[in-house]
Amino acid sequence: MATVDADCSHPVQVAGLCAVCGRELDSAVLLGVSIAISHASAGIKVSASEAKRLDAESTAQLLRQRRLALIIDLDQTIIHATVDPTVGEWLKDPQNPNYAALSNVGRFKLGMDGKTVLGFETHDQVGDRAASEAPDEAVAGCWYYVKPRPGLADFLRGLARKYELHVYTMGTRSYADCVCRLVDPDGTLFGSRILSRDENGSLLQKSLSRLFPVDTSMVVIIDDRADVWSRSPNLIKVNPYDFFVGIGDINATFLPAAPPPPLPSPTLLTDGETDITAEASPDMSSTIPEEAGAPTPPADAPESPALAAASSTPLMMGLEGADAITMETSEAGAAAAAAEEKAEKDQRAVLTEQIDSRPLAKMQEALEEKLSHCHPSSSDSAGPCAKVSEAPHQDNAPGADADEAAPSSLVEPGPLQRLHAVLKDDDAELARVQEILDAIHERWYAQWDGMHGASMPLTESPDDLNALAARPKPAVMNIIGDIKRLVLAGCNIVFSGVIPLGEKPQERVRVHSTDIWRVAEEFGARCSLGVNATVTHLIAAKAGTEKVRQATRIATIHVLHPSWFHTSVAHWAREEEEWYILPKDASSDSPSAALFLGFGDDSSDCESDADQQRDPAGEQADALPAEVSLSGIDWGEAADEVDAYLDDS
């Protein structure tokens, strides 16, 4: 039994007990030992001084290895998962047109709540093809099918030389362990550095301070959602991986819906071409998401809020204050338990619906039906349906084990069979992300060497390691910001019809505070309200407006569909303007006009009603009443609209 030490500073506590002396800690002391830093448990907490000591050790270790830290999301970032039993059926049928694309899909069984099934050895069945084909009558739950993003194995192995890899997922602990066992079977990449929603402490947000409460200057994040990170400047937003088309993120049922991605430019398809896959599934869309971030902080940014709060907490409180804290903690625990219960219920409902409705089977049927009209005689002749691409077979697919290789008796599908595949294994996002991560690592250590040289302490004594960790360091946030600003550097952008002002004066927004304006500046562009000779790009949702006519009279201005902006931002690379020239007949009534964050016909940005009414004859004729009267005009609203236009101009 541990001996209680009256002089113990209680640097670590577990379940209310000091892990050093064994003393039961009261509420006042617990507040000073409140920083959770363990991946595997939220119940292990440390004091501010202990957090600083541990951070110094990990920082020194990274510096000696010349690595940075990388936090990796799972779902739709490096893998895509579904519980649709259609996948299991396709895996058994080498003749199925989707079979080749599924060659390296992994499988495991969990409960409908995403947790381990009692009496079922989950880890013994991960990736086992025979197990996934076994009858299910004896075991409750469902099979999860996991597709690694193309190139994942090489991506992770390459990054492990430059980054210490951490997993941070909104999936359950059982789910996270199973997925990591698939992508990292020997545990050499992630080790025990896996944080799930069970230990996160929040069902809605992820936080850097949960893993790095002291210093985040060496930490990079890759995730397909920026909103759960509160648009952290450490984030590299990844385009969502949507292999199982239309399925989405099965572990995001309790999160707010992600903003819908914009549709592709109407100029990207030539006359006569049809995107059959998109027509077959109304839910399918381009994987161009909104890019979001936050203003880059200075290199000497303050300590994280978690550490600051812990450092400023008084160590002694009155009995009344301690009782209040105990009550507040109890209420918070009850609320968290209720939220977790609701999340499990919601997830169970979504998974049940997915299993029962079999969306992939329906999508395949719709595609077959569409293609049957294009190829009524099973001809391979080219036609308007030739837009559909193959799903190539990968003999050495990334992340696939020897046991996962396709059988030697695989019958290679013919051209028409591949044409009918609804699943496409053609994603190339990880190569783009790796280029960015390599550039960040190279710049960070180039700056470090410029500040301190490449020499390291000869010993690993605590004093030497602390001195090393205490040296001024570059900040990845600043490097990420610098790289982003290169994308649209030199561009002076005016938006037309893509920023909503709201229907009432009190709902009108200041254009400078909108996401699209902020993101444009974040990626290096200068934004203006009106068209003039200094403008380089007009991003317009439709043709025929006054701004479009003004811009077309200035030869140096590119008049572009908003997809140019979204694609450039999503890819962190400026797209060729000629691919996105706004068609002269582009209309906001077309589907492609619902472009940014769901903004569509309600968008008017800085163009007044008068500006819209100067469109060519007939363009708004149907919208104008037969008798125009000034009596119904809200002059206050009109004044607000004019003020919004003239603001800062």
Whole-angstrom Cα distance, residue 63 to residue 472?
12
Whole-angstrom Cα distance, residue 455 to residue 444?
16
Whole-Å CA distances, 627 to 306, 612, 621, 624, 630: 63, 18, 12, 8, 10
Whole-Å CA distances, 420 to 278, 359, 389: 13, 16, 9
Whole-Å CA distances, 588 to 261, 452, 558, 577, 594: 17, 56, 19, 20, 8
For this structure, is 283 an active site residue?
Answer: no
- 420 burial level (CB within 10 Å; 0-12, 13-18, 19+): buried
Share of the chain residues as helix, strand and coil, in percent rounded to the nearest 5 = 40, 10, 50
| Rg over CA atoms, the chain | 28
Whole-angstrom Cα distance, residue 554 to residue 542?
18
Whole-angstrom Cα distance, residue 550 to residue 546?
6
Which of 129, 276, 251 has its CA nearest to residue 197?
251
Which of 480, 509, 490 has its CA nearest to residue 291?
480
Which of 170, 189, 206 has its CA nearest to residue 81?
170
Strands 235-237, 492-496: pairing is unpaired
Beta-carbon neighbour count of residue 368 at 10 Å?
13
Whole-angstrom Cα distance, residue 344 to residue 341?
5
SS3 191: coil
Which of 569, 85, 638 has its CA nearest to residue 288?
569
Supply the DSSP symbol for 106.
E
Whole-angstrom Cα distance, residue 595 to residue 233?
24
Instruction: Give the pair of three-digit tokens for residue 116.
Output: 């381990």
Whole-angstrom Cα distance, residue 540 to residue 596?
11
Calculate ∠ Cα 509-207-191, nearest 5°.
145
Instruction: Give the pair of three-digit tokens for residue 581.
Output: 């020239």
Calculate ∠ Cα 578-591-494, nearest 5°.
50
Which of 649, 648, 638 has its CA nearest to residue 608?
638
Note whether 441 and 163 are within 8 A (CB).
yes
Instruction: Pick the catalytic residue from 7, 55, 75, 227.
Output: 75
Whole-angstrom Cα distance, residue 210 to residue 193?
12
Contacts of 625 (CB under 8 A, 6+ apart): none
Alpha-carbon dihedral 625, 627, 628, 633, rounded to 10 degrees: -80
Instruction: Give the pair of three-digit tokens for residue 404.
Output: 């996962």
Whole-angstrom Cα distance, residue 602 to residue 504?
12
Instruction: Pick the catalytic residue from 5, 7, 55, 73.
Output: 73
The sign one gets for the Cα dihedral 364, 366, 372, 374 is negative
Instruction: Give the pair of three-digit tokens for residue 412.
Output: 């290679």
For this structure, is 73 an active site residue?
Answer: yes
For the annotated catalytic residues, the residue numbers are 73, 75
